[in-house]
Amino acid sequence: MTSECIRYDVAGMLNQLTRDYLDQQKSLSNFYQYEPEIESFEKLIEDRKSVSVNRELLATSLEKQYIEAGNGQSPALANIRLLRDENTFTVVTGHQLNLFTGPLYFIWKILSTINLTQQLKEKHPNYNFVPVYWMASEDHDFDEVNHTTVFGKKYSWQSNEKGAVGRFSTDGIADVLETLKKDTSRLNGGSDWYKILEEAYEKPTVAQATHHIVDSLFGDSGLIIVDGDDADLKQAFIPIMKRDILEQKANSLIEDAADDLEKLGYKKQVTPREINLFYLKNGLRERIVPGGDQFTILNTEISFSEEEILKELENHPERFSPNVALRPMYQETILPNLAYIGGGAEVAYWLELKRAFDAYDVFYPMVLLRNSVLVLNERAQKKQHQLELETFEIFQPYHDLAKKVVKQATREILSFQRERQDLSAIFDRIRERMQQADPTLRDSAEAAEVKHLHYINNLEKKLLRAEKRNNDVLMQRIDDLKAEIEPNGIFQERIVNVTQLICEHGISVISDVQNHLDPMCFELTVVRS
């Protein structure tokens, strides 16, 4: 494999807020704590050492999770034991429990996290750094995670269950997997991968299945999997949840930060609530809504007085689930964490959270952008070569790319540039003669020139359209290339499942890509397989 990096603005990717944050624009300095660069970690480590977490509770809870998930022999357990050491720190990424891992960027997120811990160990050998994948097992947006796309075909799994997706039964997923296997039977690269998936979806719940998949792929790299849907871990988060119920500060602080960012020209990212907690039971995950002297569970008949809800929190913390605004605080409360790695939208919304972190006395980590990757297979590379395109050029909008390719193929045939020059020379002489006859006629000559140039421009466009029709082969090559980069009009990493790459190249493709990723290089990595 070979690779090269392309700036995000050239590739047409990444929101402006995240781009400006990575460029360390001074106007954003109040919205984060540590500058996103490797040199910042020296101070970050020192600051984090002064903030204690319950390491014994954390390690014991995770060991229990691994046993319950059937991964009690995972190589990652060595890193879990290291969490008891005060000189051990984490780097975290998080994601939903998508079917068969979902889009490719889930894999890139984890590789970014693993690579950063390795880089930190090289620079700070006296400390231990362990990568963490936080399973968003309490998420209830089932329609966002119940499908995946392989070779352009969408595979979906249906379930009638409600509530936290991690608690869903895996019933029915094996049937979807069998269909996928049949569809890709002509390719031999996926056998090891399908064995992992088959073993995973024999597990009773989606959370345990995802745990098995991720551990099978990344356990040897020491990646620790954390399931936040855990009564013991939430016990450590009770003080923050209690404050959010009683004080309801986060809502206004996040809104104020979002308003200030909006004044700087950026879009709002998060919609906080008065209380940023859901009430969670099997089949139920609904918002807690304050009103008068009661706390009501939305879309149910359940309600609590203040005394009752605080008692419920103390006795059953597992029944309280943080939303997108509070979940990062949960993560940072229980982990000795240095950095969170996420996509562009995640980085942007974390910038709205710092004031709330400060108000709740929670450590705010470094926020980093994950690696983005485009994998160009042999077919795509062949099309790029045939079209004589530089890598940065393949990201142009379709019509601009088509115009360039057709013009390049036909050279000067489609250009009336010489004719424009001849016309300009003719009108120079006409203006001169009309100026001599009557100075007021000069404007008429210039208007006539503009009119004739407009005619030439229109003729050039018609010629281009005609030539496009005559270049079906070129257009098909562009279509094929764009289909690899943006299948169904969506950038590859946001729709294609890793199954596709594994079927083509074998499961080693993951580690092959990993070798080309620098977690502190904030550009798109284009990998040629």
The per-residue pLDDT for range 326-353, each reduced to its tens digit, is 999 999 999 999 999 999 999 999 999 9
Distance CA 528, CA 513 (A): 9
HSE-CB for 485 with a 13 A CA cutoff: 24
Q: ∠ CA(330), CA(333), CA(337), 5° rounding? A: 105
Per-residue pLDDT, averaged over 145-149, amounts to 97
390, 451: one domain: yes
Prediction pTM value: 0.88
Which residues lie below 8 Å from residue 348, measured CB to CB, with a gap of 6+? 15, 17, 18, 21, 266, 269
135, 15: one domain: yes
468, 398: one domain: yes
Per-residue pLDDT, averaged over 249-269, amounts to 95
How many distinct structural domains can be found in the chain?
Answer: 3
Residue 323 pLDDT > 80, yes or no?
A: yes
Buried/exposed code over 78-112 (b: 16+ C-beta within 10 A; e: otherwise): ebbebbeeeebbbbbbbbbbbbbbbbbbbbbbbbb
334, 294: one domain: no
Cα-only R_g, the chain: 28
96, 128: one domain: yes
Range of the domain at 13: 2-237+323-370+503-528
46, 128: one domain: yes
155, 76: one domain: yes
Measured in degrees and rounded to the nearest 5, phi and psi for residue 527 equal: -110, 130
305, 422: one domain: no
Residue with the larger pLDDT of the pair 59 and 188: 59
**DSSP secondary structure, 280-298, as one string:** EETTEEEEEEEETTEEEET
256, 231: one domain: no
Q: What is the DSSP letter of 192?
A: H
The string of pLDDT tens digits covering residues 45-103 is 999 999 999 999 999 999 999 999 999 999 999 999 999 999 999 999 999 999 999 99
489, 511: one domain: no
pLDDT the model gives residue 431 = 84
Residue 135 · residue 228 · CB < 8 Å:
yes
The string of pLDDT tens digits covering residues 201-231 is 999 999 999 999 999 999 999 999 999 999 9
**Helix residue ranges per DSSP H, 69-190:** 77-82, 105-123, 142-145, 173-183
pLDDT the model gives residue 412 = 52
Distances (CA, A) of 292 to 20, 214, 289, 296, 306: 43, 45, 10, 10, 10
Residue identified by tokens 């209690």 is: 242
254, 224: one domain: no
33, 161: one domain: yes
Q: How many beta carbons lie within 10 A of that of residue 39, not counting itself? A: 11
pLDDT the model gives residue 414 = 58
**Residue 138 CA to its chain's centroid (Å):** 19
